[in-house]
Amino acid sequence: MNRLPLVFAAILTTLVMTNVVAEVAEEVNFDAVEKKVRTLVPNAKTIAISETPIEGVLQVQINSDIIYMTADGRYLLQGQIMEVDTRINITDQAKSGLRVGVLSELKREEQISFAPEKAKYDLLVFTDIDCGYCRKLHNQMDEYNEEGIAIHYMGFPRAGVGSASFDKFVSVWCADDQQSAMTLAKNGGDPESQKCPNPIAEQYDVGREIGVTGTPALVTTDGTLIPGYVPPAQLRQRLEALEASAE
């Protein structure tokens, strides 16, 4: 995928915001801004407003989404803020923090895990059993584990709750040997149809809440979302780079 248009869009958004807020000089009234936001999303569960590095522009967290608003509450802006000198994506950083908060409440015992004896990296992987690239990832599980990467599966049947893919995931979850049932399903087989209490619908909702739109979707322990399939060796390099940038 050519990511240059996305980068240019982020830069353009930053420039537009800079021009818009150049005239904003009054002191920020956070309560007034929140009232303005609530007129747009009256049913929002949470709204949190904070300053950004750009004078006169506020970050507004609405549930698990991030938007921006001028300090006078007059203009609402959607896009990404990137610091050009450091190449740090400030919007992604904010979203990562939100994801960590959501994911911290998840239970490891409700995930189907494939892990080496000593894992260097733990990844949550939102997966659809019938997704082609999800199957490709699973068929290289030994290679991921050899790279020190543990894969912890979360259910994300793209067709939604109640679909055939959802039911198949439930059967995998309810199997006595979840790992074997997962491998069978990922290879196109049909695990024994079963029903039992399961977290698949909840995991699907969590995925949508943190911004998963396709599968596989990889999420690091610091909340970074890596969309799509990444080969084992390249994924290890990417995780090492993320770790180094955080130091």
Instruction: Give the pLDDT of the chain (247 residues) as one tens digit per residue.
Output: 444 444 444 444 444 444 444 444 456 788 888 888 888 888 888 888 888 888 889 988 887 788 899 988 888 888 888 888 777 778 888 877 778 888 888 899 999 999 999 999 999 999 999 999 999 999 999 999 999 999 999 999 999 998 999 999 999 999 999 999 999 999 999 999 999 999 999 999 999 888 888 999 999 988 888 889 999 999 999 999 888 876 6
- Token pair, residue 58, equals 């506020």
Is 128 known to be catalytic?
Answer: yes
Of 63, 17, 56, 18, the closest CA to residue 41 belongs to 63
| Residues β-bridged to residue 113 | 152
> Minimal CA–CA distance to 103: which of 224, 216, 215, 245?
224
Q: Report how far residue 104's alpha carbon sits from residue 117's, in angstroms, rounded to the nearest whole number.
A: 23
Residue ranges per domain, the chain? Answer: 4-101, 110-246
99 in active site: no
Q: Which CATH architecture has domain 110-246?
A: 3-Layer(aba) Sandwich (3.40)
Q: Is residue 174 among the annotated active site residues? A: no
Tokens, residue 13: 């958004």
Q: Which of 72, 130, 135, 158 is catalytic?
A: 158
3-state SS, the chain, equals: CCCHHHHHHHHHHHHHHHHHHCCCCCCCCHHHHHHHHHHHCCCCCCEEEEECCCCCEEEEEECCEEEEEECCCCCEECCCCEECCCCEEHHHHHHHHHHHHHHCCCCHHHCEEECCCCCCEEEEEEECCCCHHHHHHHHCHHHHHHCCEEEEEEECCCCCCCCHHHHHHHHHHHCCCHHHHHHHHHCCCCCCCCCCCCCHHHHHHHHHHCCCCCCCEEECCCCCEEECCCCHHHHHHHHHHHHHHHC
184-238 tens-digit pLDDT: 999 999 999 999 999 999 999 999 888 888 999 999 988 888 889 999 999 999 9
Fold of 4-101: Nuclear Transport Factor 2; Chain: A, (3.10.450)
Which one of the listed residues 72, 99, 130, 131 is annotated catalytic? Answer: 131
Catalytic one of 99, 128, 135, 174: 128
Residue that the structure tokens 């956070």 belong to: 30
85 is catalytic: no
| Of 134, 135, 174, 236, catalytic | 134
